[in-house]
Amino acid sequence: MSIQVYNSLTRQKELFQSIEPGKVKMYVCGPTVYNYFHIGNARPFVVFDMIRRYFEYKGYEVNYVQNFTDVDDKIIKRGHEEGLTPQEVADKYIDSYFADADALHVRRATAHPRVTEEMREIIEFIEDLIQRGHAYESQGDVYFDTTTFEGYGKLSGQTLENLIAGARVEVSDLKRNQTDFALWKSAKAGEIAWDSPWGPGRPGWHIECSAMSMKYLGEQIDIHGGGVDLTFPHHENELAQTEACTHKPFATYWMHNAFVNLGNEKMSKSTGNFLTARDLLQKYDGTVLRFLLLSAHYRNPVNFSEELAENAKAGYERITTALLNLKHRLESAPAGHADTVDADKYRTAFEAAMNDDFNSADAITAIFDLVSDANVYLRSEQVEQGALQAYLQLIEEFLDVLALGPADEDAGLDAQVEALIQERNDARKSKNWGRADEIRDELTAMGIVLEDTPQGVRWRRK
């Protein structure tokens, strides 16, 4: 089965074909690091991590680049508020990004370039655009001349006239045309700046990603991704300046995830309508939050609520409970064959969902169908190791593709719980009921629920 990808540029699903057979080059816009990211910001991190993992599952080698914008007006403002330099602000929130992204099982990118470390490439890119007649200097600023690029507006489906009429452009007397956008901004007094042929300053937002993508992935890439709010102006401007420079298609497929809303309104730091991932991780396991974000197709909006989070928690626990039951029955089940489990049927259903524009929602439905059949088998009086192992391996395989398996750090806790359960069993055998009760209370405080079954003690997390 071939992978179909919805391309924002053509507004239709297309057969995925990589530029280089067996390899995928992906660039995903990363955060501007001036604050903790909210759960809406987390969606593209999780979604494109899921897409990357599925390509790898299908045998592709993925070169995945996600940048950090580490110089920006908001970073400078936050530095003034916290008494930090812009670099100290960026370092602080990059560290926090990795901590929170790790909790959501988001793998590190192949490269995480920072704008401040790529200044030479950015300046050279701007010089090239000026030499080609696509950009001009104006009192220390440099602007891209949108009238020189015939395809401007093709990604967002707008014309230059509509953009001006809709006032979707930043007005400035320094521009030739109001749709032109800044490639280089001259320094303001007291601001961080870099030397350039046009005087001290710093890059505009859009040029950063074009320069870094070209440095780390080359002139053409397979996928450029980000939130739908980046379609215009950010991705539109990236496309224009890159293709004006190379005269080649920048990205074959442009992919955009929908918003996470709060109270039916888009999450936004500027309006104060947001919940940080960091705060939510104090209440919910990162795997549950990832499960929540992947339970809807990435192009459909998610309206976050406590009820939705609790439903995601219950849904995920249904899967993990099945895993625990399978492992528990395996300990005492007689040997047997796995041919009673139609692995191809389950794998076909899972991959059909993922091949259809990475439909993680339907993929999770396929996992639930598998879990339901496994639960029916578990209710049988006679079970065999082969079938139990087949169900277990399939569930774990699919969870691994979506990075929804138990977190690595749980291994130490599992060993601790197993040791306490063994100690409790020994205490009960020796009729040391006091110690047995103490251990149960200790496990309860750890969030562990014990269940006595005919096959022995089974445990699970609350």
Tell me the pLDDT tens digit for each residue of 97-122: 999 999 999 999 999 999 999 999 99
The pLDDT tens digits for 126-146 are 999 999 999 999 999 999 999
Does pLDDT of 410 surpass 60? no
Mean pLDDT of 7-13: 98
Q: In what order do the strands lie in the sheet with 61-66?
A: 61-66, 23-28, 221-227, 251-257
The C-alpha angle with vertex 87 and arms to 281 and 195, in degrees rounded to 5, equals 145
Mean pLDDT of 204-211: 96
Does pLDDT of 444 surpass 90? no
The answer to whether the CB of 265 falls within 8 A of the CB of 305 is no
**Per-residue model confidence (pLDDT) at position 455:** 58
Does pLDDT of 428 surpass 70? yes
Mean pLDDT of 349-358: 98
Does pLDDT of 326 surpass 60? yes
User: 114: which 2 tokens?
Assistant: 């920072």
Q: Are strands 221-227 and 302-304 parallel, antiparallel or unpaired?
A: unpaired
Percent of the chain with pLDDT over 70: 95
User: 57: which 2 tokens?
Assistant: 């599952």
Mean pLDDT of 341-358: 97
The kind and range of the H/E element at 457 are strand 456-461
| Dihedral angle, C-alpha 289, 361, 51, 208, nearest 10 ° | -60
Mean pLDDT of 313-317: 97
3-class DSSP state of 123 = helix
* Measured distance CA(304)–CA(273) in Å, rounded: 11
Does pLDDT of 408 surpass 60? no
Residue 19 CB burial class (10 angstroms; 0-12, 13-18, ≥19): middle
Does pLDDT of 411 surpass 60? no
List of domains in the chain? 4-131+210-257 (3.40.50.620), 306-408 (1.20.120.640), 409-461 (no CATH)
Q: What is the mean pLDDT of the chain?
A: 93
Does pLDDT of 336 surpass 90? no
Q: How far is C-alpha 250 from the chain's CA centre?
A: 22
* Binding-site annotation, residues for Zn(2+): 29, 209, 234, 238
**Per-residue model confidence (pLDDT) at position 377:** 96
pLDDT range class, residue 168, cuts 50, 70, 90 = low
Which amino acid is present at 353?
A
Mean pLDDT of 161-165: 75
Does pLDDT of 309 surpass 80? yes
**Per-residue model confidence (pLDDT) at position 462:** 63
* Measured distance CA(231)–CA(254) in Å, rounded: 9
- Taking the model in full, what pTM does it have? 0.88
* Binding-site annotation, residues: 29, 209, 234, 238, 269
Q: Are strands 221-227 and 251-257 parallel, antiparallel or unpaired?
A: parallel
Please identify which residue in the block is written with the tokens 């926090």.
Answer: 96
User: 83: which 2 tokens?
Assistant: 């008494």
The C-alpha angle with vertex 205 and arms to 199 and 210, in degrees rounded to 5, equals 100
User: 228: which 2 tokens?
Assistant: 């739908």
* Binding-site annotation, residues for ATP: 269
* Measured distance CA(142)–CA(451) in Å, rounded: 68
3-class DSSP state of 406 = coil
Higher-confidence residue of 419 and 440: namely 440
Quickly list DSSP for 159-179. Answer: -HHHHHHTT-S---TT-SSTT
User: 19: which 2 tokens?
Assistant: 């530029």
**Per-residue model confidence (pLDDT) at position 418:** 78
Residue in 333, 306, 312 with CA at minimum distance from that of residue 387: 333
Q: Highest-confidence range of 239-243, 378-382, 403-407, by mean pLDDT?
A: 239-243
Quickly list DSSP for 285-341. Answer: -HHHHHHHHHTS-TTS-EEE-HHHHHHHHHHHHHHHHHHHHHHHHHTTPPP--STTS
Mean pLDDT of 165-191: 84
Does pLDDT of 190 surpass 90? no
Quickly list DSSP for 3-53. Answer: PEEEETTTTEEEE---SSTTEEEEEE---BSSSPPBHHHHHHHHHHHHHHH
Which amino acid is present at 328?
H
Q: How far is C-alpha 90 from the chain's CA centre?
A: 20
